[in-house]
Amino acid sequence: MKNTAWLAFEIDRSAKTPVFEQICAFIRTRAVSGDLPEGSKLPASREFAAQLGVSRPTVVTAYEQLLAEGYVRSRVGSGYFLCDLGEVELPAAPKAASKPDPARAPNTPKPFEYGQPDMRLFPHRQWAKSVAKVCRSQPESMLTGGTDFGNLALRRAIADYVSEWRGISAVPDQIAITAGSSDALELCMRTLSQRGDAIGLEDPGYLPASAFAQAQGLSKVHLPVDDQGACLPARGETPSLVVLTPSHQYPLGGSMSPNRRLDFIRWANDRGGWIVEDDYDSEFRYAGRPIPALAGFDHLRRTIYVGSFSKIFSNTLRLGYVILPEPLVPQFHDTFDRFRPKASLMPQAALADYISSGAFYRHLRRVRRIYGQRRKLLLDRLRQDFADFGHFQDHQAGMQLVFHLNPPFHDIDIAAKAARLGVRTPPLSAVCAKAQGRNGLMLGFSGFDEDEITAALDLLHSCFVAETQG
């Protein structure tokens, strides 16, 4: 232990904070202050445990937590080393709980808007490093050099990413960069459907997809959702294209069962139809590994995969992607040629560098940990203080959940009361087409810190109390 910073640390035996978390907090703080520079080797776990007077597994747990958060990297046989400070940022210091402030920043989402990443966690320093690197080495790539499908380096990085994380085997030529997942869904409808064709959409489901179908003159076939996921089109219904969220159904949560996945693949094969898999937030699973993608299950035969960086990285860059079965590649090139790509070329090379450097994966681990803590707070409070008003299913995934209301409460009424207090709780019934009996509030938790969630829950609770008394 050559660096004396390690010798300055002692365990506070009287603190309620677990010992392993005290170790984590010490290393995080010293790394940010510069006392532990980039590349510093952490003490051997056995040696550090002896110095602190704790068990070796406690130190190992702390190191593994820091590895998961992206603060350290490991080398087989060599130990753990601190990452570049630009690769991580500590969360902002806690602030006193207060009422949600609609004016705290322009376009800032209000609790509990769903599907919102917390842009206060954005890794500005590491992103700036990737941008600067591209500006120095290949500045022309930020304005020119991309094909209609986008920057090749980014498509290669995405191919590696989905292979490792989603079980999808694809080459860069099958990947097209889009202006987010909404743009990708619209491109799929333009390419695979003509005015008057039928399209299958989940009910309840994603309203923008329904709006695109409406705008393109498509006939909507509403697919009810049960405990196995979306149901197949009924007899007599003839869509040639369906849009599904099999890994985490939007908005109800839950994953599609293996049998139902097989049923949809058989349906697509028998009809010569296509499945568009909207994999909008699959990275955020808080127990076990992510649910495998349907496109991987299907080996990209009849399934088109849609992914996005808006939920896991930045909702301002507006970048997503679509992964295509090989036979569809020429058709999508034609669509891109007719309508021109909407995705900005400028950030694509930098994003490719950011992913390839490993910084993206570290950021993902970090925000997943933080969102998991926020989710736990929300669930605990709902169980403790809202049990008389409704219930929820814990799917251990996603960026939002649905709180199903008990009679006599109505989601539209409660949502209206909450909105007047600066709290947005979109009613579940508003995203239903024909589905009956859906009565709940959609509560997003990812974009808001624990103080904001606590304050918003207090206000929401007052709405239920007022409804009960009124």
56-84, pLDDT tens digit by residue? 888 888 887 777 556 777 776 788 888 76
Which of 318-322, 411-415, 465-469 has the least mean pLDDT?
465-469
- Segment holding 452, helix H or strand E: helix 450-469
Residue 365, judged by CB atoms within 10 A of its CB (0-12, 13-18, 19+), counts as middle
DSSP string, 234-252: PTT---SEEEE--SS-TTT
* Angle (nearest 5°) at CA 232 between 228 and 237: 160
Q: Which of the two residues, 214 and 146, has the higher pLDDT score?
A: 214
Q: What pLDDT, on a 0 to 100 scale, did the predictor assign at position 312?
A: 82
Query: Would you place residue 107 in the very low, low, confident or very high pLDDT band (cuts 50, 70, 90)?
Result: low
Examine domains 126-357 and 362-469 and report if their fold is the same.
no
Residue 56, judged by CB atoms within 10 A of its CB (0-12, 13-18, 19+), counts as middle
Listed in sequence order, the residues at least 6 apart from 268 whose beta carbon sits closer than 8 Å to its beta carbon are: 242, 274, 275, 302, 303
Give the number of other CB atoms < 10 A from CB of residue 78: 8
DSSP string, 200-222: EEEES--HHHHHHHHHTTPEEEE
Under DSSP, is residue 177 helix (H, G, I), strand (E, B) or coil? strand
Under DSSP, is residue 79 helix (H, G, I), strand (E, B) or coil? strand
Q: What pLDDT, on a 0 to 100 scale, did the predictor assign at position 84?
A: 62
Give the number of other CB atoms < 10 A from CB of residue 58: 19
8 A C-beta contact, residue 325 and residue 303: yes
Convert the pLDDT of each residue in 21-61 to its tens digit: 788 888 877 776 667 777 888 888 888 888 888 888 888 88
Q: Which of the two residues, 392 and 114, has the higher pLDDT score?
A: 392
CA dist., res. 268 & res. 274, Å (int): 6
Q: What is the largest CA-CA distance in the chain?
A: 75
Domain boundaries, the chain: 4-87, 126-357, 362-469
Q: How far is CA 68 from CA 215, 267, 336, 364, 424, in A?
A: 44, 40, 39, 9, 32
- Segment holding 225, helix H or strand E: strand 219-226
Q: What pLDDT, on a 0 to 100 scale, did the predictor assign at position 68?
A: 59
Task: Please say whether the dihedral angle defined by the alpha carbons of residues 74, 78, 80 and 84, taken in this order, is positive or negative.
Answer: negative
B/e letters for 125-163, b = 16+ CB within 10 Å, e = fewer, are ebbebbbeebeeeeeebbeeebeebbbbbbbbbbbebbe
Fold of 126-357: Aspartate Aminotransferase; domain 2 (3.40.640)
What's the CATH number for 4-87? Answer: 1.10.10.10
Residue 342 has which token pair? 């909407």
**Closest to 141 in 3D by CA, of 155, 121, 125, 124:** 155
Q: What pLDDT, on a 0 to 100 scale, did the predictor assign at position 42?
A: 86
Q: What pLDDT, on a 0 to 100 scale, did the predictor assign at position 99?
A: 45
Phi first, then psi: what are they for 352, rounded to 5°?
-60, -45
In the chain, the percentage of residues whose pLDDT exceeds 90 is: 57
**Closest to 148 in 3D by CA, of 338, 387, 346:** 338
- Segment holding 29, helix H or strand E: helix 19-33
Convert the pLDDT of each residue in 327-336 to its tens digit: 999 999 999 9
Q: How far is CA 217 from CA 49, 121, 182, 453, in A?
A: 67, 40, 17, 41
What's the CATH number for 362-469? Answer: 3.90.1150.10
8 A C-beta contact, residue 185 and residue 243: yes
Convert the pLDDT of each residue in 183-192 to its tens digit: 999 999 999 9
Listed in sequence order, the residues at least 6 apart from 168 whose beta carbon sits closer than 8 Å to its beta carbon are: 162, 293, 295, 296, 300, 305, 323
The residue to which tokens 């009956």 are assigned: 436
Convert the pLDDT of each residue in 296-308 to its tens digit: 989 999 999 999 9
